[in-house]
Amino acid sequence: MTILIGVGASTGTAHGFARLIHGPDDFTQFQSGDVLVCRTTDPAWTPLFSMASAVVTETGGMLSHAAIVAREFGIPAVLGVRDALDLLADGESLAIDGARGTVTLMDSE
Amino acid sequence: MTLLTLHAVRLLGFADTQTVAARFFQEPGLVESQLIDAGVNGLVSHSTFAGISGWSLSSLGRTENERLLAEELDRTQARQAVLAVHDDFADINTGVVEACSAIQLHTQASEDAMDVLMGALASWRPLEAELTGVLPRCEGYAERLLRALKHAVQDTAWLTATDRDSFHRVWFELHEDLIATLGIQRR
**Chain B, nearest residue to A10 by Cα:** B105
Are B51 and B136 part of one and the same domain? no
- Is residue A109 scored above 70 in pLDDT? no
Q: Mark whether B88 and B55 lie in a shared domain.
A: no
Q: Which of B49, B56, B98 is nearest residue A63 as measured by Cβ atoms?
A: B98
Which pLDDT score, from 0 to 100, does residue A104 have? 97
Residue B110's pLDDT is: 77
- Please indicate, yes or no, whether the overall pTM of this predicted structure exceeds 0.80: yes
A63 close to B (CB below 8 A): yes
pLDDT at A93: 97
DSSP 8-state class, residue B158 = H
Range of the domain at B155: 78-182
For residue B177, how many other CB atoms are within 10 A of its CB?
23
Question: A65 catalytic, yes or no?
Answer: yes
Asked if residue B73 belongs to a domain, the reply is no
**Contacts (Cβ under 8 Å, ≥6 apart) of A102:** A3, A4, A5, A6, A8, A78, A95, A96
Nearest chain A CA: its distance from B103 CA (Å): 10
Average pLDDT along chain A: 94
State residue B121's pLDDT score.
Answer: 98
- Contact flag B101-A51 (C-beta cutoff 8 Å): no
**CATH number of the structural domain spanning residue B52:** 1.10.10.10
A63-100 pLDDT, tens digit each: 999 999 999 999 999 999 999 999 999 999 999 999 99
- The count of domains in chain B is 2
Across the interface, whether the CB atoms of B50 and A67 are under 8 A apart is answered no
Residue B62: closest C-alpha in chain A: A24
Residue B187 has a pLDDT of: 61
Is B7 within a domain? yes
At which of B44, B67, B90 does a domain end?
B67
- Indicate the domain borders of chain A: 2-108
Q: In 3D, which of A76, A102, A105, A83 has the Cα closest to residue A92? A: A105
Contact B97 A68 (CB under 8 A): yes
Same domain for B101 and B176, yes or no, is yes
Please say whether the structural domain A2-108 has been given the CATH code 3.40.50.1110: no
3-state secondary structure of B141: helix
Instruction: Kindly tell me if the per-residue pLDDT of A5 is higher than 70.
Output: yes
Helix-, strand-, coil-residue percentages of chain B, each rounded to 5:
75, 5, 20
Ranges of residues in chain B whose predicted pLDDT is under 50 = none
Q: Which residues of B touch A64 (CB under 8 A)?
A: 97
Residues B44 and B92 placed together within one structural domain of the fold:
no
Domain shared by B58 and B86, yes or no: no
